Amino acid sequence: MAASAETVQARVITARPPDRFRTTVAGVATIVPAVLVLIVITLAVQAWPSITHFGLGFLTSTSWDPASDEGPFGALPAIFGTVATSFLALALALPVGVAVAVLLAEPGHTTIRGVIGTGIELLAAIPSVVYGIWALYVLAPWSYEHLELPISDHAGFIGWLSSPAVRGLFNAALVLAVMILPTLTAISRDVVRAVPRGLKENAVALGATWWETTWHVILPSARAGIFGATILALGRALGETIAVTMVIGNAYVIPHSIFQPAYTLASVIANEFTEATGTLYPAALIELGLVLILVTLTVNIFALLLVRSTAAEVRRAA
Amino acid sequence: MSRNHRRRYASRGWLALMYLLTVIALIPLGLVLWFTILKGLPSVIHPQFFFNSELPPCEPRCPTVSDAGVGHAIVGTAIMVGLASLMAIPIGILGGIYLAEYAIARWSSWVRLAADVLVGTPSIAIGLFAYAFLVVPLHHFSAFSGSVALAVLMLPIVARTTEGAVALIPNGLRESGLALGLPRWRVSLQLILPAAAPGVITGGLLSVARAAGETAPLLFTAFGAHILEVDPNGPMQALPLTVFKYALLPYRSLQDQAWGAALVLIVFVLGINLASRFLLRRQIALAGQR
């Protein structure tokens, strides 16, 4: 008799119709990761001639000679330019981004905060190409005259602060800093806001001033999340194409000064890909794209996991 | 001055510095808007700017009233973003419903991570992908391949905003639907989705705004054109392409067209963003009432 009871039990469970809706939407949702994987595979396949021809030396070579199809092609100047512009932009944007985030997370003054918050978010909405034309005609000439010339006049004896130029690495970093500010601010604000109120109230009750509370209590407990936001912003900066292409000056060299023209992975592709003929030259350009996407993928996944785990941690603490 | 005084003044000083940095953060927004209007308006005030196609450079003797326009670029952007929306928005909405309704499923957390990573993927790499996937096999540039690239950009935005909007809907609505014996798909699509509509529409609008402003994915897919093209199987012009290509050329007449196109673009994009903020606030207010 026990056996028949088990069959009844089993029938009840299997009688529940399979959730076909769930299977369908899960299938559709799978398109998202599938596209991501497909992008990486497609780029790897297209870059294959260059990968096999140059091997790992591609990453460390500085030559770039499209005149002959044999090249040689090397990615180092573009990698250097990408990393240099991104980190310079982060250094410029980080203090501003954290300051705005701290102010936005404060209670009170909701109208002012609403206006500031909207303004920063609109900054994220402006298309890259509009930043580009603005940087080319307004920001770069201004920065040349009012930042680069005075700096090189006073500190030009330091090699990498000499020889100012209107289009170059520094001005590209400047426009990048503006463009990554919203990413930095939005995530840092959420993290700062997630700091348990009790912590802050304890500090105030002990007689700490606003600054002492912010510096010794709020920022340290939000540290990991702000770091995550910074890495996420770094990912955005590494992949930014159009605005950088318009002001970086397009010189495939490792510049001796931060003011001098350079190149980034993305802007080499943007400028040269439509004119690339033969097999090795386009493959080398696609390999630049592959390097770029693998680096940004790694950076983004790391940052996302960091932001997520901090948010969970803070929630648990609260 | 006592120690406490010093502490209090230091605190005020740091607060003032933070306000100063915030003002500095907002200056670029004002400057970008100001210069785009200042330099773009002279082109845009002629109504034919919205209908005519571009003119070749007229230097050194330019007419005082120009017949140049970006009509072909506006049509091109509309066609390509429209096609991309047809692909990305339905998929994105269904994907977002999955993410919200089955939020605890293990697979959904992977999809969510993939969507967030895809948002941060360089748009130039997505352009290369569309080139390799559609332009190479077909042997010609096409607006359709540009649309596919834009759709890849839009997809994660639609999915994540739909997820956010659906997750806001209180569980009571879901449970009452199921209690009435409705199947899961009817609860999700006919009950929850309409209730989340403002948020979902917001996501669609934001993704359209993002796609309309993208240049990099179109450079070697849609490629660009000098005249009005409406065939998705051939090259096509888009507003961001006009800005990018003509801003860099040494002709004043073409630079003016670039600034004009930039103004059209920025008005469109910021308009959509402000409208969607309004929609979103309504959605949150509605959800709060329930």
- Each residue's pLDDT tens digit, A58-72: 999 998 988 877 778
Over 50: is that where the pLDDT of A1 sits? no
- Interchain pair B132, A46: CB under 8 A: yes
Q: Residue range A137-144: average pLDDT?
A: 96
Q: pLDDT category, A2, cuts 50, 70, 90?
A: very low
Q: What SS3 string covers chain B?
A: CCHHHHHHHHHHHHHHHHHHHHHHHHHHHHHHHHHHHHHHHHHHCCHHHHCCCCCCCCCCCCCCCCCCCCHHHHHHHHHHHHHHHHHHHHHHHHHHHHHHHCCCCHHHHHHHHHHHHHHCCCHHHHHHHHHHHHHHHHCCCCHHHHHHHHHHHHHHHHHHHHHHHHHHCCHHHHHHHHHCCCCHHHHHHHHHHHHCHHHHHHHHHHHHHHHHCCCHHHCCCCECCCCCCCCCCCCECCHHHHHHHHHCCCCHHHHHHHHHHHHHHHHHHHHHHHHHHHHHHHHHHHHHHC
> What CATH number does the domain located at A75-317 have?
1.10.3720.10
Report how far apart, in Å, the C-alpha atoms of B98 and of each of A31, A148, A169, B112 are. Answer: 12, 52, 44, 10
Low-confidence ranges of chain B (pLDDT < 50): none
Q: Which pLDDT score, from 0 to 100, does residue B76 have?
A: 96
Q: Which residue has the higher pLDDT, B200 or A6?
A: B200
Chain A segment 272-301 residues within 8 A of B by beta carbon are 273-274, 286, 289, 292-293, 296-297, 300-301
| Matching residue, tokens 């403002």 | B198
Matching residue, tokens 């929850």: B192
Q: In the predicted model, is pLDDT for residue A97 greater than 60?
A: yes
Best-predicted range by mean pLDDT (A110-119, A127-136, B37-46): A127-136
pLDDT of residue A15: 52
- Sign (positive/negative) of CA torsion B246, B248, B253, B259? positive
Contact B120 A246 (CB under 8 A): no
Q: What is the pLDDT of residue B287?
A: 64
Q: Which tokens belong to B240?
A: 């961001």
pLDDT at B288: 62
What are the chain B neighbours of A97 within 8 Å (beta carbons)?
Answer: 25
pLDDT value at position A250?
92
> Between chain A and chain B, how many beta carbons pairs sit less than 8 Å apart?
256
pLDDT of the residue at A277? 84
Phi, psi of A68 (to 5 degrees): -110, 145
Shortest distance, CA B64 to any CA of chain A (angstroms): 23
pLDDT tens digits for A13-27? 555 566 789 999 999
Q: Sorting pLDDT into bands at 50, 70 and 90, what band is A193?
A: confident
- Per-residue confidence (pLDDT) for residue B246, from 0 to 100: 92
Two tokens, residue B118: 């895809």
pLDDT > 70: what percent of chain A?
Answer: 92
User: What is chain A's mean pLDDT, rounded?
Assistant: 89
As given in the structure block, the two tokens for residue A181 are 């500010």
Contact by Cβ (8 Å): A228, A97: no
pTM of the predicted model, to two decimals? 0.92
- Whether the CB-CB separation of B35 and B255 falls below 8 Å is answered with no
